[in-house]
Amino acid sequence: LSAAGIPWSVLRNYSSASAKEKARRNAICERTELLEVLKARAKQLQASNVPEVTVNKVELAPLGNDKYQDPLRKVVAPGAAEEQPAPRGRDESPARPSSWVEKLKKEMYIRQLKVERKLSIAASQLAREGQAKAKPKAKAKPKAKAKPKAKAKPKAKAKAKAKAKKSQKSLKSPEAPKAPKAKVAAAWSQSHAGPHGLYARHKPRVAAVKEGAKAQWPRRVLEHKDSSQYKILQQTIQSSLECFLFLQQPEEAERFLLLYHSSPVKRRLLSVNAYNIVMRSWARKGCLQRINQLFSMLESVGLRPSLDSYAAALECMGRNQSSTKAIWRCVQQLKNDGFHVDELFQKCLFEEDEKEKVLRAIRIVQPNYQLPPPPKPQTCKSSLLQDFYSKEKMVPYPKLDFTVQELQERFQQQLEMELDNTVTIESVESTKPLTPQAIKARKLLATLRSQWHDSILQALQKSKCSMSKLKTVSGYNILYPYLCLMPDEEYVGIMLQILNTLSPQGESLAVLARELGSKIYNRYITQRKLRSRQLEKVQEVYEEYIHLLAKDSQPDKYLPREYWEKLVAEAGFGPSLNLKDCSWPYMLLMRLGMHMLELLVQAVKVPRNVLNPHLEPRFIPVLYHVYSFHSSWQVGLIKPHPIFSQIVSDAAETLLTFNSSAIPMLCPPVPWTSPHFGAFVLNDTKLMRFVDGAVQHQLLLEQCPPVNLHPVLDALNQLGNCAWKINQPVLDIIISIFNDKGNEKLDIPPPISEAPRPPAAPSNSSTCNKSQKHELLLCKKKTAEMHSLRMDALYKLSIANYVRDKVFWFPHNMDFRGRTYPCPPYFNHLGNDVTRAILLFAEGKPLGPKGLDWLKIHLINLTGLKKKNALQERLEYANEIMEEILDSADHPLTGRKWWMNTDEPWQALACCMEIAKASRSPDPAAYISHFPVHQDGSCNGLQHYAALGRDLIGAMSVNLMPCSVPQDVYSAVAQQVEEFRKKDAEQGVKIAQVLQGFVSRKVVKQTVMTVVYGVTRYGGRLQMEKRLKEIDEFPEEYLWEASHYLVKQVFNGIKEMFSATRDIQNWLTESAKLIAQSGRTVEWVTPLGLPIVQPYYRSRSTVLNCSMQNLSVKTSNGNQKPDTVKQKNAFPPNFIHSLDSTHMMLTALHCLRQGLTFVSVHDCYWTHALTVDVMNQICRQQFVALHSEKILQDLSEFMLEKYCSPGRETRALWQKKLMEQLSNVPKTGRSTGQELQSSGAVWR
């Protein structure tokens, strides 16, 4: 295969036809297959002497004219996708084929066009037959085949006509033969670029063509209208129609719609929404006649107009001021269809001036009509939050230390940043002196980039030109409208941005394609928000919203979400703040990205002699397509030429460009008010993170009553409203070490120049032995790792330096379990020790009487010392070492460097500096501190299990019960394991004797921590082995046996200490197993009302054909069977994570009511030193409140209702078994909430 790397035998497995259907292939398909096999053999012979991994010469022929034509042939099975490259034939090479192979391609292409012509003739005859509704005069034999040619004879026409009519009947007839197991998605994905890709794509495509000619579209998709696959196909059509709407091309939109409407088979993929988009296109032009035609088309296919259909019609009538009679008829029809006029304004989403035009039309027939009042705000009824949402107990929302004017200025800065889409900042390496070599390289790079800009622009325009010509031949090129959404310069800018950030080690094709596609989509969404005037409305509402937060405005007893909703309701007119759903299917993003990547590889070239004048002055590609092997798979990479990497390295550029969403916000985030709206001003952000292509979570959130999501939205808004600033002294020290060769011990990565040098290659390469090759590979691996770590640190430090004098905010969203995360990916408080050390709260509070003590206790916690000691003992220890603390603060790099030997050195240093300032102030209690103090959970997962099972002994081990000193569960388990070991050693067990002196807290900690998250004995053994390897004295020959013995004893120890934990874990696991075996995914609802579904399905690889290489994409979606193993293994940890997030959100909301600053890193809670005691009290109260609910009983009842349908007298055996399992809730112990309430060390 040309640059595809997939053997023919493997590719055949991706055919969309069943074995039975393959046997019935007609002569056309057989001849085409033969050509393909000959071509494959030619390729193999041609490449017989080429090494297994070669560089693609990237001399791509022009992109084919028929590339990505009909979306019904090209979309791939939807779902979470990741690159899973297909194995490549041993003798295959991506080298350029010879001329006779090109002739084969040409001949095969001609045959392909003939087959497509047959399809179009058959489809048009089918359409005519459907319109005439006439019975065929001639009866075709069952096995008759239509063989129309360019100029068909009358007899052939009659046969084709009869066959088409018979096929149309067969769609309705129950006796019709079953459609083959072809998947529309697979057929779609197999289509390829012009003649270059026909060999790779042909087989599945011909299957689709043949079935189309028979009017037998695969029914599995078309008959399961609720399947994800069906919805993705609909979404692709609607995305293309939305493009035409955006481009203000109603004629093109209607033409595209008719391609599907005119086919009795394809039209099943058209929903009312597709017709509505075209109606909206014509409504903006005021063409009522076209809208009437679309209503007739809807009626002809048996679809019922929706509210949006009537909204478009009335908008058009309001725009051209239609007659009263016409509007009256429309309104009457709306009412006859069961709708009410008020619903137009309550349920429809409007853009630009659509709402005003609809209202104008309504008032022509009802002059006194008034907009319906906004719905009365609903209040969350959760028993956990009755006090929080009680109007009687409502308190004014805390103010920020900014005036209205200051917040407005910050909003404008943020808006300008997001409108630019990218932010270019100075790197922290910019302080280095500029060498003459760097100046020369920068000039050269600037010249080359100017040339590349012109080359890419020319290649893009040429590609679009060839695509536009296709419209007159055979329908639409599916990518063409997506390449017209923005000026060509913007696409070029995106491609150059990707080129500039490419690592010298290269990057996966799938990653680059996804990034390119996503960047284009994000720009499109920004433009849509501008065009729809949504941004104007957001601006107006935000200017009022900041009065809730500004210190110079009146206090208001509203939550941010409530206040925003109130302001939107008062605004009345204008566009809706939620855009109509316009998300692009994942595989469309990938295909668009691959097209851009192909243009980039094709266009960007550099003179071969640019660094060495003695070489031949010819142009060579800057980017190369290579393969890297991962186990038995090969992964396609795009790698820069060493010449380009050398120029970039010599230039040592100091500017970094980021997407605006990667930078912390310069104003308070827009509050979350729905799953679609919140966080950034313009950047599109989802409330719930999910893997690429997954749609299940979003559907679940949309189906959830909005009031059920209020607690989650309010908690996210509270976390996002925390203002931050930079700890400048610590940042400056870190940057100085970063620019001075780094320090691996302090987690500051050294530059690539410090990477180990590969061994010198011998003069005779054949003498290079195995060990030398291995050493070379290790050096390359180490260099790649160092580059990755260095760039990660560079990004974090450069962003921190960019906002060093600013106050900033981190908008939050969550994963599917409800765990919260800051949206900016590089620099945030969830980062490593270095990142956390340079963050301070923007708001300062006095330390108060106990604040300094809490700072000292926090410092000792950061050192990792005194974990078993009481808080008072830790405080005393801090006072004992005050001299070391002050020396670290005063002379961090030149003193005794005590801080460097702690678990979290940079946070310890920052804390030393804060303690020094506070203790030296005249009145430490009045010292204004911005420093965050952390309170960490004690093995948080086991805490939840112990509380769920009312497990007294387990609860004591994880500090849920009152105790004089904090308990350390890891030490307790290690002690238990040591007792088991001693007994076995006394009985002569050899491995128990070998382990004497090696059983420690460190050895067992990771396994104990992860047992609660479902680690198996196999995984636990690997963890133990890793820990034992770190002990130099441990005999290596006993590693396997010792780790096997230890994991068994750890599991036994936990079983004894946490008797109820294993019972609950087993119940959750077995329940999930039976649910998955019944063909359903595991779902539940958290105590705060958040719906959760586990997105684990049996993945399926689907080939996405592109000219550069075939991407084998692993997909998973709701239309596939659940992955039973993942569903059952993941349920216990995911359920505990959801409880963990629920407790955090409850704590956040109640801290808000008490006026506390609060943020979290999962189970680690941060606040000011002044308010640590109050936060600890709230934390315990909410933990008790959460576990006072009947959590397991509620889960059992929810699952019984969802998975075991009531009222059936006869049930299947599996259903009875599932009912029995779900009903058998584990029994719990008798410890009470009062005991827990009095415990002082839940968080420490």
Positions marked catalytic: 936, 1005, 1163
Q: List the end-to-end C-alpha distance of the chain, in Å, as a whole number.
A: 61
CA distance linking residue 480 with residue 943, whole number of Å? 56
| Contacting residues for 758 by C-beta, under 8 A, at least 6 apart | 775, 776, 779, 780
Residue 1059's CB: how many other CB atoms inside 10 A?
15
> Quick check: 304 and 337 in contact, CB under 8 A?
yes
Separation CA 207–CA 209 (nearest Å): 5
DSSP β-bridge partners for residue 621: 605
Across the strands, what pairs with 944?
Answer: none
Residue 394 CB burial class (10 angstroms; 0-12, 13-18, ≥19): middle
CB-count exposure of residue 869 (10 Å: 0-12, 13-18, 19+): middle
Give the separation between CA 80 and CA 586, rounded to whole angstroms: 8
Q: Which two tokens stand for residue 718?
A: 């509270």
1018-1043 residues labelled b (16+ CB within 10 A) or e (exposed)? eebbebbbebbeeeeebeeebeeebb
Q: 1021 — alpha (psi -120 to 50), left (phi > 0) or beta?
A: alpha
CA angle 921, 923, 924 (to 5 degrees): 70
Q: What are phi and psi of 743, to 5 degrees?
A: -160, 105
Alpha carbons 646 and 623: distance in angstroms, whole number? 13
Instruction: Catalogue the E-assigned strands of 711-814.
Output: 723-726, 808-809, 812-814
Whether 313 contacts 330, CB under 8 Å: yes
Q: What is the chain's Cα-based Rg?
A: 33
DSSP secondary-structure letter at 745?
G
527 touches 670 (CB < 8 A): no
Sign of CA dihedral 345, 346, 347, 351: positive
Q: Which residues, including other chains, have CB under 8 Å from residue 1203's CB and lie 6 or more apart?
A: 1075, 1078, 1080, 1218, 1222
Structure tokens at 516: 């390119």
Cα 1166 to Cα 911: distance, rounded to the nearest angstrom: 14
Question: How far is the CA of 185 from the CAs of 200, 228, 587, 591, 1022, in angstroms?
Answer: 16, 11, 10, 13, 40
Q: Give the residues across from 626 on adjacent strands.
A: 637
Q: Which of 1133, 1137, 1125 is nearest to 1097 (CA)?
A: 1125
- DSSP string covering 418-471, please? HHHSEEEEE-GGGGSPPPHHHHHHHHHHHHHHHHHHHHHHHHHHHHHHHHHHGG
Host H or E run for residue 361: helix 354-365
> What are φ and ψ of residue 137, in 5° steps?
-80, -30
Q: CA–CA distance from 562 to each of 266, 467, 557, 669, 672 (Å)? A: 45, 49, 10, 15, 10
Given a contact cutoff of 8 angstroms between Cβ atoms, the answer to whether 604 and 621 are in contact is yes
Contact at 8 Å (CB) between 682 and 665?
no
